[in-house]
């Protein structure tokens, strides 16, 4: 019984969802890898320590690729992701390599970029009457 409880506890630790808040550097186009598999990359700047910002790559796969629609460069977002990893042996040398993936499952807007925020219409330009004297 203790073994089962420990395994349940361990599975909660391993599969714990993580999140960070970061600024979007770019959202790449969806890439159709195979007939049945697609992915889309999100590149962000994570500045827990503003002196040393980190550039991170997150991946959305399959149906989650659409959650990146509507986000733009400069937007500040909260990214919910799972950390995944696997070990593969190299074909040529047989050396083992470990690959890690930050896989997005949810995205929330924290702050919209000023560059892409809706701009308010300013006063319409003044139209001069042909009989009126020009200001220059």
d(CA 17, CA 83): 8
Task: Look at residue 129 and tell me if it is in a domain.
Answer: no
Question: DSSP character for 29?
Answer: P
Number of domains within the chain: 1
Task: Report yes or no on 124 lying in a domain.
Answer: no
106 falls within a domain = yes
Does some domain include residue 88? yes
User: Residues 13-43: pLDDT tens digits?
Assistant: 455 679 999 999 999 999 999 999 999 999 9
Over 35-75, what HEC string results?
CCCEEEEEEEEECCCCCCCEEEEEEEEHHHHHHHCCCCCCC
94: domain CATH number is: 2.40.50.140
Contact 74, 23 (CB under 8 A): yes
- pTM of the predicted model over 0.85: no
Domain span holding position 63: 15-115
Instruction: Work out the average pLDDT over 67-85.
Output: 94
6 assigned to some structural domain = no
Instruction: Answer whether residue 71 is part of any domain.
Output: yes
Q: pLDDT at position 91, please?
A: 79
Does any domain span residue 23? Answer: yes
Q: Is residue 96 part of a domain?
A: yes
């Amino acid at each position: 019984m203790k073994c089962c409880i420990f395994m349940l506890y361990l599975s909660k630790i391993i599969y714990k969802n993580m999140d960070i808040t970061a600024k979007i550097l770019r959202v790449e186009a969806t890439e159709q890898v195979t007939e049945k598999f697609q992915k889309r990359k999100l590149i962000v700047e994570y500045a827990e320590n503003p002196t040393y910002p980190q550039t991170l790559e997150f991946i959305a796969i399959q149906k989650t690729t659409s959650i990146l629609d509507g986000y733009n460069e400069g937007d500040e977002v909260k990214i919910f992701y799972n950390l995944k990893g696997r070990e593969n042996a190299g074909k040529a040398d047989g050396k083992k390599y470990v690959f890690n993936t930050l896989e997005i499952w949810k995205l929330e807007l924290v702050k919209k970029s000023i560059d892409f925020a809706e701009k308010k219409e300013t006063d319409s330009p003044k139209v001069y009457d042909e009989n009126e004297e020009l200001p220059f």
